Amino acid sequence: MNLIVISLLILGVTGLVAAVLLYFVAQKFKVEEDPRIDEVQDALPGANCGGCGYAGCRAFAEGCVKADSLDGLLCPVGGAPTMTKVGEILGMAVVAAEPKVAVVRCNGTCEARPRTSVYDGAKSCQIMHSCYVGETACPFGCLGCGDCVSACDFDAIHMNPATGLPEVDDEKCTSCGKCVKACPRNIIELRKKGPKSRRIVVMCVNKDKGAVARKACTNACIGCSKCQKVCEFDAITIENNLAYIDYNKCRLCRKCEDQCPTGAIHAVNFPPRKPKAEVPAAPKAAPVQNSSKAQSAVQDGSKLSSEKTTLNNVEQPLNNVEPKNEETKA
């Protein structure tokens, strides 16, 4: 009995001493956390998508609290309203950032890019890309397995069975960037949404020369530079046989769209253009006579005029003589 009591006492004293030691150690090495971090985290949507560039909403909240300003910090899911709340909590001014949207820069439809082989394996763009060029002759185009669709947490991207390409719903897209990371060929890009969701994009990423790219896909950019020459705002650059439009410089004039011979440049969400008024055809001009005929006509005219003048000169003296003869007879 005494042995049991002694054992319990020893255990109790040991636990008490350990607890006291742990308390003092915790107080000595504790890290004080800013209470505003929890407030900022509560204001965030909690998607943990990583589109802000941080590991999650908690890390983003810590970054906002530690930052001197909110410039360059944006929650793509919550957008401007969420950042306004964060700014009110931290007492910082929020710079309005233009919303972005994911854009699939490939227009290689089933008709424009025919199949050259059939892939029989795991339906994954990552696996297909690591194996070979794909089912078509374009080594840069969309593979069509839908890794971007699986990566999207907001149901904002779907595969179109008619074209075999993914399509993004602008209203649902939060520009989190997960689809961008999921695409092994870097076809998807985050671009400015633009006024009224209007934007002009080169829907091609093929860097082959014009003839090769055109053979693989009829909608491919051939790097002809016509769009670059017609652009008045220096918004288009040609690099590696591929045109690219800088959305920060583009003024949506659509001149490049008219000049593109392959239709690789797309104007998204623009109203249909008004048909051009037909100009009435000008009346046909009378045929011009040959120079030789004209010269002969001029010569004939000059001869007639000279003959008329000589006849007039002869008639005048005759008229003057006749009255004199009549007077003599009288």
Q: Which domains does the chain have, with CATH numbers?
A: 35-97 (1.10.15), 100-268 (3.30.70.20)
- The yes-or-no verdict on residue 259 having pLDDT over 90 is yes
Q: How far is CA 131 from the centre of its chain?
A: 30
Give the per-residue pLDDT at 311: 44
The token pair that represents 294 in the structure block: 């004209």
Q: Is pLDDT above 60 for 320? A: no
Given pLDDT bands bounded at 50, 70 and 90, which one contains residue 166? very high
CA distance 144 to 137: 14
Flag the least confident range among 18-32, 202-216, 297-311. 297-311
Residue 72 falls in which region: left (phi positive, over 0), alpha (psi -120 to 50) or beta? left
pLDDT digits (tens, 9 = 90+) for 167-176: 999 999 988 8
User: Percent of the chain, pLDDT > 90?
Assistant: 57
With 80 as the cut, is the pLDDT of residue 227 above it?
yes
For the residues 260-280, what does the mean pLDDT come to? 84
Residue 57 has pLDDT above 50, yes or no: yes
Element (DSSP H or E) covering residue 23: helix 2-29
pLDDT score at 69: 87
Quickly state the pLDDT bin for 71 (edges 50, 70, 90): confident
Q: Kindly indicate the confidence band of residue 190, based on its pLDDT and cuts at 50, 70 and 90.
A: very high
Q: What is the pLDDT of residues 79-127, one digit of tens each?
A: 888 999 999 999 988 877 788 999 999 999 999 999 999 999 899 999 9
The per-residue pLDDT for 277 is 63
More confident: 33 or 204? 204
CA-based R_g, the chain, Å: 42
**Among the listed residues 158, 154, 148, the one whose alpha carbon sits nearest the alpha carbon of residue 184:** 148
